[in-house]
Amino acid sequence: MESQNAGSDHPPQGLTRRQLLARAAALPAVSSELTSPSAPAVAERGVYLNVPSPLPPLTIHDWDEREWSRYLDLLTASRFNRLYFYLWQNEQSDFAADPAHKARNRRLHESLRKMIGLAHRRGMKVTFLFCPTFMPRVLWTQRPELHADIEYVRAGFPCLCPSRPDSWSLMRDVYRHELEWFRQADGFQLWFYDPGGCMCAECRRDITAPLVRQAEEFREMSRRIQPRAEFQISLWPVWEWESRLKIRYGLELLDRLKERFGEAHREIAITDSMDDPRSFLNAAKERGFRTQAFLFLTHVETPFLFLFPQFDYLKRTVARLAAAGYSGAFVHSLTPGSKALNTCLSGLALWNPAASEDELAYSVSLLFTGKPEAARRLAPALRLWERLILEGSPKPEEARELRRQAEETIALLSDERRRRLIWLPESAQAMEILVEGAASLNDPTQMVRLTARFRALLESTHTFRAYAPQGAAEFRRMAQWLAGGWRREHF
């Protein structure tokens, strides 16, 4: 097992490990109970930052060095020691970018490259995620003969068929360029699907062959670009394809990868779902691979971009994780502008699953407010927040109480802190209208009125302005989730 930064190649500049630990202890962030375990439950604790289409300030697109530093400080104070990131290459590639987005995409690459250095200074390792069959749209549109046959393409995503020989030079060109951009990363993680992959007749003839070839070629490429980088392979969501296609191929894929890489397979990490019972993590562990569990706390397809403190989910999941003995875990994040607190709560839980929900609530509140008085106000609000989402039939008076607690919390803070936490009262105000909606689903006139109020509120906020049209369009769906209780789905 390891202490906080064990396994890192990047001690912060000029700091010894002893000084680093002293500095971490000096943060007002984490209560002593949570810093006490000498051996965390999960050795590698990561955040997977998925970079979607720009929706600032919810997404990272406008972040400068100060904003990145603040975020990375929150992550390290929450005991994360890994950061993973994925860039949607269809619209955000630097290779063959759409002329309209060329400058924006370049800035994004520069920002993420700078982030890697900032993370290293804090002792964090960084992994770049990529899906070789997923293409920049401008390039893909020019080569219709290479298009994949898979539902992602029908949903509008530009994917290539890896059984066409000409696809390979495109895949290599695009991803050599992207891997070079992030050559200072400590790891590269290959995804076959989601979005990407192909299920044409040729690909299905020997379904694991194009996957094994991707693993081989791109591991080789990543080693040429960065010899010290770890290589990881995601099996998400092979289990789902197995069910739909009625073809079992996940175990065969693991066996072929093991055979192909020989003893080196022990250095390769397989990543897969923590939540789906069909996940291949245990099969990978039995075969000697390293294993990293993916916790999908933010669901891309749901429009719910408001805070959701997931004490209940974390309590159940982290206990299973600790017992399973995987090498690491990483939690999904899409809109840190409104959900960084969700993420930090996960980090604290991964560090010490024995901590009670109240301890976790207080610690994460102290981390964000920096002030015990404000943390004492916010911690019970976070527990109430979760209950309003999970339990169904939420009470409007409780949602009003939640908004009051959020407003009282930030009233206790300095102007600067208050500006940084503006998403908190804004999210609580949105929750108040959503809860009213949950109680008014059968009243069409009231629903029209509430939807208009919801949209006007979002438009008036700093955090959710750009999201207002989508938020209003999804108002009914979100209110329905709250009415029924959102226990089965996590996001």
Interface positions with Zn ion (CB under 5 A): 161, 163, 198, 200, 203
Output the smallest distance, CB 28 to Zn ion, in A: 54
Output the smallest distance, CB 278 to Zn ion, in A: 23
Output the smallest distance, CB 409 to Zn ion, in A: 53
Strand 290-295 versus strand 44-51 pairing type: unpaired
Residue (148 or 364) nearer to Zn ion, CB = 148
> Hey, what's the torsion of the CAs at 53, 55, 60, 61, to 10 degrees?
70
Gap between the Cα atoms of 148 and 152, Å rounded: 9
Gap between the Cα atoms of 129 and 120, Å rounded: 17
Output the smallest distance, CB 191 to Zn ion, in A: 16
Gap between the Cα atoms of 102 and 425, Å rounded: 36
Residue (161 or 334) nearer to Zn ion, CB = 161
Q: Enumerate the β-bridge partners of residue 230.
A: 187
Residue (206 or 216) nearer to Zn ion, CB = 206
Output the smallest distance, CB 273 to Zn ion, in A: 24
Output the smallest distance, CB 178 to Zn ion, in A: 22
Residue (153 or 350) nearer to Zn ion, CB = 153
| DSSP H or E run through 265 | none
Residue (118 or 209) nearer to Zn ion, CB = 209
| CB 84 within 8 Å of CB 129 | yes
For residue 315, CA distances in Å to 23, 56, 74, 486 come to: 28, 31, 21, 16
Nearest of 322, 329, 324 to residue 346 by alpha carbon: 329
Output the smallest distance, CB 90 to Zn ion, in A: 18
Residue (209 or 422) nearer to Zn ion, CB = 209
Residue (200 or 441) nearer to Zn ion, CB = 200
For residue 91, CA distances in Å to 73, 175, 182, 226, 368 come to: 29, 14, 18, 26, 33
Angle at 151 between CA 301 and CA 179, to 5 degrees: 75
